[in-house]
């Protein structure tokens, strides 16, 4: 009898907890060169290339809380709408009446995923109030914004601008003007080309095999560069910097850290104009150097007759310049 009562109580408890789910699926005619707009309160946005004459949208939302009535009220007041105007497709699930506060007291779990396939040549504007944004194999202008979540972009071609209020950013094989920003998270860009501007308020930044200028800044984290075919600008308020330059050195280099070491690996035959200063540390070079030195904490002059400008500054750490070998990679 006791076991039976406990079972009935447990069943009643589970039944009292709300669980509302919604699934939406729609396929529309489309053509290359159009525009996709996704604007949602929360959830992951996943966009990829599909057939050139179709646009596919699959949406799944789930809210699990202690308030079944409020779950249903939210879904009723914030439907998933899919509309098409010319060659612009809009997917929206954004609460309009924000003056009416939804007080989710007690336990509440909200999850959603919007999976969209568009023609390979397509522009996109993606916004979520909280969740990941992933885009792959698309050619066109792309903008993305999330209030908290990871950004992951793969093989994009075209202008890319993306921000997250808290999450890592990954760019793999992306081409074009790339500008990304996170308020807290790691940034990694590999195998891309064009130009890169990357900023994080707290996290490391790694750039490898990039064909173009790279300008990166972090308020707290290490920086690492390897095989950059363009100018390099790197600044960190708290972290080490490592850079391996390709041969011949394609562009000027400017690296600065307020607290950390700088390790620069250059081709043994590279001609460079060097200006290096460590406020609290040593400056060393394993390559032939002609110029001036001051108490081992600064040097200014030429390596191998001079060439591209290299400026290195460390507020609290040492600076080293060494010949690079094919086997050595930045960490």
39-53, 86-100, 273-287: segment of lowest average pLDDT = 86-100
Break the chain into its structural domains and give their ranges: 17-122, 168-331
C-alpha–C-alpha distance, residues 1 and 6, integer Å: 9
Q: What is the pTM of this model?
A: 0.89
pLDDT for 295 equals: 72
Q: Which of 239, 208, 201, 234 is nearest to 222 (CA)?
A: 239
Per-residue pLDDT tens digits for 263-304: 999 999 999 999 999 998 999 999 988 998 777 789 999 999
The dihedral sign for the CA sequence 113, 117, 121, 123:
negative
Q: Give me the residues paired with residue 92 across strands.
A: 39, 81
C-alpha–C-alpha distance, residues 156 and 145, integer Å: 16
176-190, 280-294, 303-317: segment of lowest average pLDDT = 280-294
């Amino acid at each position: 009898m006791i076991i039976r009562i406990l079972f009935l109580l447990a069943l009643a408890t589970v039944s009292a907890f709300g669980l509302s789910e919604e699934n939406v699926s729609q396929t529309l005619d489309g053509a290359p060169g159009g525009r996709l707009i996704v604007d949602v309160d929360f959830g992951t946005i996943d966009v990829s290339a599909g057939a050139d004459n179709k646009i596919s949208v699959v949406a799944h939302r789930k809210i699990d809380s202690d308030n079944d009535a409020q779950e249903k009220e939210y879904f009723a007041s914030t439907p998933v709408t899919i509309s098409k105007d010319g060659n612009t497709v809009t997917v929206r699930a954004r609460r309009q009446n924000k003056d009416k506060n939804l007080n989710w007291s007690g336990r509440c779990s909200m999850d959603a995923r919007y999976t969209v396939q568009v023609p390979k040549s397509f522009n996109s504007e993606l916004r979520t109030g909280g969740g990941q944004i992933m885009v792959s194999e698309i050619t066109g202008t792309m903008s993305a914004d999330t209030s908290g979540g990871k950004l992951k972009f793969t093989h994009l071609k075209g202008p890319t601008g993306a921000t997250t209020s808290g999450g890592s950013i990954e760019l793999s094989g992306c081409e074009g003007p790339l500008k990304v920003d996170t308020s807290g998270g790691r940034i990694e860009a590999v195998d891309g080309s064009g130009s890169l501007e990357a900023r994080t308020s707290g996290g490391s930044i790694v750039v490898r095999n990039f064909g173009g200028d790279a300008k990166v800044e972090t308020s707290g984290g290490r920086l690492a560069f390897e095989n950059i075919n363009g100018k390099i600008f790197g600044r960190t308020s708290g972290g080490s910097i490592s850079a391996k330059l390709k041969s011949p050195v394609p562009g000027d280099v400017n690296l600065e850290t307020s607290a950390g070491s700088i390790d620069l690996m250059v081709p043994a035959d590279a001609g460079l104009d060097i200006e290096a200063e460590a406020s609290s540390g040593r400056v060393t070079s394993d390559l032939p150097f002609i110029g001036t030195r001051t108490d081992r904490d600064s040097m200014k002059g030429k390596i191998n007759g001079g060439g591209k400008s290299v400026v290195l500054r460390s507020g609290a750490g040492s600076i080293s310049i060494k010949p690079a070998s094919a086997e050595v990679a930045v960490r």
